[in-house]
Amino acid sequence: MIYKNPKGFPKNFLWGAATSAYQFEGAHLEDGKTMSIMDASIDLKYTDTSVASDHYHRFKEDIRLMNELGLKAYRFSISWPRILPMGRGKINKKGIDFYRQLVAELKDNGIEPLITIYHFDLPLCLQKEYGGWLSRKVIEDFSYYCKVLFKNFGNDVKYWFTINEQSNMFLLPHLMVFNDKIPIEKQKYSMNHIMTLAHARAIEIFREMVPNGKIGPALGISPNYPASCKPEDVEAAKIADDFNTYLFTDLYFRGCYRENVLKYMEENDIVPMIEKGDMELIGSAKPDFLGVNYYQSKAVRYARENIQNPTSSEIIPGLYKVVDNPYLDKTKWGWEIDPIGLRILLNNLNDRYHLPIIITENGIGDIETLTIDERVHDEYRINFLKKHLEQCNLAVNDGVNLFGYCIWSFMDLLSTSSGFNKRYGLVYVNRNDRDLKDLKRIKKDSFYWYKEIIDSNGKSLENLLK
Ligand code: BGP
């Protein structure tokens, strides 16, 4: 539905951009920081996190660019092993100092800091000691880490995200570390339960320590369409949403497991250990908002029980399997580009939970090189962002309480799957996977475009869309 007299974006809308520590900072073993599981990941070809975009050494220059862009908000994550090199116990003062300077510099430039507490980078020592997210011991260590952050930054930072993309053990299992002696499916549901408890504890502690702050999860969501109007496919799409989205959001916002997911776990003997008090804790932690990372939608059809070797996370035999959507273009990495899917998703989430929503990540990765006159003409990015923002605006008109939008990413950084070969930034970083070059920052065409959008609080979209 298109409105005849649409309203614009809300006043004080948080026009933002995002990054994460291991993808952006570099200095992975500097000033007391130890390795995280992402620094040590052997499964990911491109995770040489030692320099990344060198933000650790250039954050002042980077914030000057954010200021020039006119950013209202900047979402970044804190590196747990930079704050607590042993995962717990002794605090690394240099780590605290770095983020303190970062927050102060952002605020001096009128930019609202949005902190993600956990973005994939568990201290490696905790992985080695007790298996990381597979052990309930991590809940206590995560709670301690949260207390350190809230104590040091709670007065200065209003918006917090607990865990980025909790769904990763299901959707991107290569980002997790599994124990090869326990069936993987069992571990995934177990880790999910433990992460949900850690998220809930973080909120409980936050309420005591940061009474005026706001906190919520940031979830990666790809909504599912039925590949046809065959009732089996429609049902399959609903189930795919249950397993890939509502499993998590119902735990966060309703404090319970979805019945059908619970039955599936029982029938497959993969129910996590749910101890006395767990569901009470999960139910009592009420987030203030939901962060949504949106890149693509999926089309699914019903999948037979007897599919051979269902290796991909995109198939659950007997339930659904992901198929091509012939109506959508794809990125070079096969991600289906679907701006309207974002509007549909925002409306579904709003109807279901009635909570404020912020887009914590949205963007497009591509292979990019500089022109001779040192420019990057990224019209495809402008086009992608423009179309997604238009749908955000329509969602606002539909009644969704959308209070911010963060582009992934502010500047080129290490793509989790493809290093610097896949760039997302509004600002180019002059390096590639083989050669660090001079790491010079160069504004892409999309930088100037986004600046106009921010300056006009989204009004320039109307002109640009004609
Ligand atoms: C999200 C992550 C980000 C980022 C992004 C793009 O899942 O939260 O950290 O990596 O996806 O993914 P990729 O770099 O694999 O293209």
Predicted confidence (pLDDT) per residue in 440-463, tens digit: 999 999 999 999 999 999 998 876
Mean pLDDT of 313-341: 92
More confident residue, 182 or 237: 237
How far, in Å, are 91, 104, 153 from residue 146 at the CA level?
A: 12, 20, 10
* 328 vs 339: CA distance, rounded Å: 10
Mean pLDDT of 175-184: 81
Which of ligand 1's atoms lies nearest the C-alpha of 218?
8
Q: Mutation test of ligand 1: which of 416, 421, 423, 424 has the most ligand atoms closer than 8 Å to its C-beta? A: 416
Phi/psi class of residue 302: alpha, beta or left (left: φ > 0; alpha: ψ in -120 to 50)? beta
Mean pLDDT of 211-229: 97
DSSP for residue 446: H
More confident residue, 18 or 312: 18
165 within ligand 1 shell (Cβ under 6 A) = yes
The pLDDT score that the predictor gives to residue 44 is 61
Cβ contact 386:407 at 8 Å: no
* 421 vs 365: CA distance, rounded Å: 9
415 within ligand 1 shell (Cβ under 6 A) = yes
416 within ligand 1 shell (Cβ under 6 A) = yes
275 Cβ partners below 8 Å, 6+ apart? none
Q: Catalytic residue numbers? A: 165, 361
Mean pLDDT of 294-312: 80
* 449 vs 456: CA distance, rounded Å: 11
Number of Cβ within 10 Å of residue 156's Cβ equals: 14
Q: What are the two backbone dihedrals, phi and then psi, of residue 442, each rounded to the nearest 5 degrees?
A: -135, 125
Q: How far is the CA of 415 from the centre of ligand 1 (A)?
A: 6
| pLDDT at residue 163 tops 50 | yes
Assign 36 to helix, strand or coil: strand
The pLDDT score that the predictor gives to residue 465 is 45
| pLDDT at residue 466 tops 50 | no
- High-pLDDT (> 70) share of the chain, %: 96
114-118, 277-281, 311-315, 377-381: which range is least confident on average?
Answer: 311-315
Domain ranges of the chain: 14-224+287-299+334-455
Mean pLDDT of 63-72: 98
Write the pLDDT tens digit of every residue in 365-421: 999 999 999 999 999 999 999 999 999 999 999 999 999 999 999 999 999 878 999
Which of ligand 1's atoms lies nearest the C-alpha of 164?
8
More confident residue, 95 or 177: 95
Q: Is residue 1 very low, low, confident or very high in pLDDT (cuts 50, 70, 90)?
A: confident
| pLDDT at residue 42 tops 70 | no
Mean pLDDT of 324-330: 96
Average pLDDT in the chain: 94
Q: Is residue 464 very low, low, confident or very high in pLDDT (cuts 50, 70, 90)?
A: very low
Which of ligand 1's atoms lies nearest the C-alpha of 363?
6
The pLDDT score that the predictor gives to residue 215 is 98
The pLDDT score that the predictor gives to residue 397 is 96
Task: Report the 3 state secondary structure along 351-373.
Answer: HHHCCCEEEEECCCCECCCCCCC
pTM of the model as a whole: 0.96
Residue range 14-224+287-299+334-455 in CATH 3.90.1150.10: no
Write the pLDDT tens digit of every residue in 345-371: 999 999 999 999 999 999 999 999 999
Cβ contact 200:208 at 8 Å: no
The pLDDT score that the predictor gives to residue 312 is 62
Q: Mutation test of ligand 1: which of 170, 219, 415 has the most ligand atoms closer than 8 Å to its C-beta? A: 415
